[in-house]
A and B are shown apart, each in its own frame.
Chain A
Amino acid sequence: MFSGPRQRGLRLLTHAEWCGVPSEADIISTVEFNYSGDLLATGDKGGRVVIFQREQESKSRPHSRGEYNVYSTFQSHEPEFDYLKSLEIEEKINKIRWLPQQNAAHFLLSTNDKTIKLWKISERDKRAEGYNLKDEDGRLRDPFRITALRVPILKPMDLMVEASPRRIFANAHTYHINSISVNSDHETYLSADDLRINLWHLEITDRSFNIVDIKPANMEELTEVITAAEFHPHQCNVFVYSSSKGTIRLCDMRSSALCDRHSKFFEEPEDPSSRSFFSEIISSISDVKFSHSGRYMMTRDYLSVKVWDLNMESRPVETHQVHEYLRSKLCSLYENDCIFDKFECCWNGSDSAIMTGSYNNFFRMFDRNTRRDVTLEASRENSKPRASLKPRKVCTGGKRKKDEISVDSLDFNKKILHTAWHPMENIIAVAATNNLYIFQDKIN
């Protein structure tokens, strides 16, 4: 997708808009493909989960081209109230993580600030007919009227997708949960809040193990918080967590029960020349993701994406600037709170490219091999079904060329915080406020 515009390009596959009375509840807060890429789950601020399924491309419906359509919608979390602390608990879905599929049903974990839930999504396409004790409407029959017995038979019905909560993992976090990550053992997962990381077993809801605790005895000595955590994709004893100070710690659960001492510590020395009031804020890592290979990990801070080699702790092996032109605007971005936006990042299936979002509905993709990068826009006006996305450019100073956008014209309310890449194909999902765009890289 980085070669000539005529040959290949990202085409819009699906556009879904969360509508209704315009409200904050429709803002998408997380996007995640499942392991096969056939399902895409989204969570929003209203606590709902909407799952899209890829249509099978078939001869009978050649125009569908493998689009994603809504598969299931359910309310995962409701607003709650903590009476003890007089705090409202938001229902916003912070993260969704799929479990690897083991049978016909699909399982995913969804979490808000305090509670994690395991959902089972199953299909029902048959129903039993011919019950003895109730008639077709479901009304109970008078037992005295039953004179003969019959065996109910299964008949096909319209496909129904049901979501049911199978486990609820609650009351384990004092602070706001920011990450969940399923372990490669497929039995355990971790959940991280600002100061602690807990390890759970998927079958056990009344207990969790605390594996990281960075809460200082005196809260006034607090200097950093945990911002993201993830298990290694292959080594079930290894996980990493990032901090608000721009550091990443890799921990090995075999070394001790409480992983307060890290095995590796990744930090890039700060460049003193770029110090400002906001240096600390912009160095805070908002997302950390292992590569599929498990050899690298990627971190996102406010202005850049960095790729780290797990074998080298002193500095990242790659640094990609996402929107360096914002460095001179940090004060305004602090005022309007944009500087606190938590952007996510993701790898493609082969780890050759990475993607992350920006403002003005722009998102950026970086090809690690060719070192090329591109800025694209996810918006209705720019996404005609057959046309491929045009690269965009931000003018950072001097004369603005045609088709360029000046920094001052950027719309900071249109932010792309959540993106996801299909695990195997070049299909990407981009969440722009209350809109979901799914693009596919296609040859003309």
Chain B
Amino acid sequence: MEFKLEAHRIVSISLGKIYNSRVQRGGIKLHKNLLVSLVLRSARQVYLSDPCPGLYLAGSAGTPAPPTPQPGEPTAQPPAGWGEPPPPAPRAAWPDTEPQPERPAVPDAPRAVDPEPAAAVTGAGDAFRGREEDTAEAAWGRVDRPRVAAAVAVSDVSPEGASVGCPPTREEQPGASPAADCRCAPRPAEAEPSAPPALYPRKRGAAGAGGGHAGCPALCSTPLKKPRRDGGEEDGEEEMETGNVANLISIFGSSFSGLLRKSPGGGREEEEGEESGPEDAEPGQICCDKPVLRDINPWSTAIVAF
């Protein structure tokens, strides 16, 4: 349990650092962000693999390590909202909580995101590491089983409705987070994921272009290196941001898209803009989810904050 709490805390801190790095003078420091993302990944893994009945973690379902199944949790409540037949559910939930002012993971508002993020997180983690497709798929597989109608789409507002791959749930999840590389990856039962939509048309970078990651070999960047050109170089820094952040997006969903923007102001606007999308799309679902959102554990809040 302590590990879980510590892991949670570390994740919150890490997210804060990544957020702050955007506004730092001198531009985003690749080295530091890489290290922070490694810590984030480790903490997330620990968090997910540390079984803890008290928390709403769908972790039980989605963790790579065989966890003790959480009694009905995943399908029970907060997930109740999620549990609904999919399509709208997840997205609705997200937009609702996004307008929260604080970006950095501040665990206060409760929110039922768990099953989702857990799954997403797993996938993301795998993605980030460029793991074997199998692992990713396996992870996703685990997520799926316990939750039939799992609303897995911690997704960004995707221009294309078609869920690109992630969360393999049978239901069409509108817009699985497109920017997330890993999102594509975990597609246990499916064929190759279609090319990720350009969620962030402005900043495709690696995330967009790269499409999947290790998990989607077909989509994966080709083994050949990009030609070393200045033009390519220019994208480098942007790609870096996109890449890192895209991973996190896959973990935390659409709210994260704001991080791709360099200016906090711009970011927020975009975020809110995107949120309005799903909200408009599934008003009904929102109502349903709202009450649920209150009973949330801090962990989810962190995710929600983004």
How many whole Å from A33's CB to the nearest CB in chain B? 27
B102 at interface (Cβ–Cβ under 8 A)? Answer: no
Could you list 8 examples of A-B contacts with CB < 8 Å? A86-B263, A87-B262, A113-B27, A176-B29, A218-B221, A219-B239, A219-B242, A222-B240
B202 at interface (Cβ–Cβ under 8 A)? Answer: no
How many whole Å from A368's CB to the nearest CB in chain B? 30
Chain A positions within 8 Å of B267 at CB level: none
Chain B positions within 8 Å of A113 at CB level: 26-27
Does B228 lie within 8 Å of A219, measured CB to CB? no
B234 at interface (Cβ–Cβ under 8 A)? Answer: yes
Residue interface mask B196-209, A partner, CB < 8 A = 1: 00000000011100
In the bound complex, how far is the Cα of B130 from the Cα of A210, in angstroms?
Answer: 27
Q: Interface size of B by Cβ–Cβ distance < 8 Å?
A: 52
B149 at interface (Cβ–Cβ under 8 A)? Answer: no
Does B43 lie within 8 Å of A277, measured CB to CB? yes
In the bound complex, how far is the Cα of B30 from the Cα of A113, in angstroms?
Answer: 12
Among A196-218, those with CB < 8 Å from B are 210, 213, 215-218
Does A220 lie within 8 Å of B30, measured CB to CB? no
Chain A positions within 8 Å of B26 at CB level: 87-90, 92, 113, 176
The 7 closest A-B pairs by CB, nearest first: A218-B221, A219-B243, A219-B206, A90-B26, A220-B243, A87-B27, A219-B239
Does A281 lie within 8 Å of B38, measured CB to CB? yes
CB closest residue in chain B, given A243: B31
CB closest residue in chain A, given B209: A218
Does B236 lie within 8 Å of A195, measured CB to CB? yes
Q: Interface size of A by Cβ–Cβ distance < 8 Å?
A: 41
Does A194 lie within 8 Å of B31, measured CB to CB? yes
Q: A86-B262, A195-B236, A334-B10 are in contact. Are A222 and B34 (CB under 8 A)?
A: yes
Does B237 lie within 8 Å of A85, measured CB to CB? yes
Does B30 lie within 8 Å of A225, measured CB to CB? yes
In the bound complex, how far is the Cα of B30 from the Cα of A150, in angstroms?
Answer: 63
A340 at interface (Cβ–Cβ under 8 A)? Answer: yes
The listed residue (A89, A178, A220, A278) touching B27 by CB distance below 8 A is: A89
With a 10 A CB-CB cut-off, give which of A84, A87, A219 has the most chain B CB atoms.
Answer: A219
Residue interface mask B123-158, A partner, CB < 8 A = 1: 000011110000000000000000000000000000
Listed in ascending order, the chain B residues whose CB lies under 8 Å from chain A are 6-7, 10, 13, 17, 25-27, 29-32, 34-35, 38-39, 42-43, 46, 127-130, 181, 205-207, 210, 213-214, 220-226, 228, 233-234, 236-240, 242-244, 246-247, 262-263
In the bound complex, how far is the Cα of B221 from the Cα of A200, in angstroms?
Answer: 31
Does B237 lie within 8 Å of A217, measured CB to CB? no
Listed in ascending order, the chain A residues whose CB lies under 8 Å from chain B are 82, 84-90, 92, 113, 174-176, 178, 194-195, 210, 213, 215-225, 227, 244, 277-278, 280-281, 284, 331, 334-335, 337, 340
Chain B positions within 8 Å of A225 at CB level: 30-31, 34
Chain A positions within 8 Å of B25 at CB level: 88, 90
In the bound complex, how far is the Cα of B26 from the Cα of A31, in angstroms?
Answer: 21
Chain B positions within 8 Å of A210 at CB level: 228
Chain A positions within 8 Å of B39 at CB level: 277-278, 280-281, 334
The listed residue (A82, A87, A227) touching B31 by CB distance below 8 A is: A227
In the bound complex, how far is the Cα of B234 from the Cα of A178, in angstroms?
Answer: 19
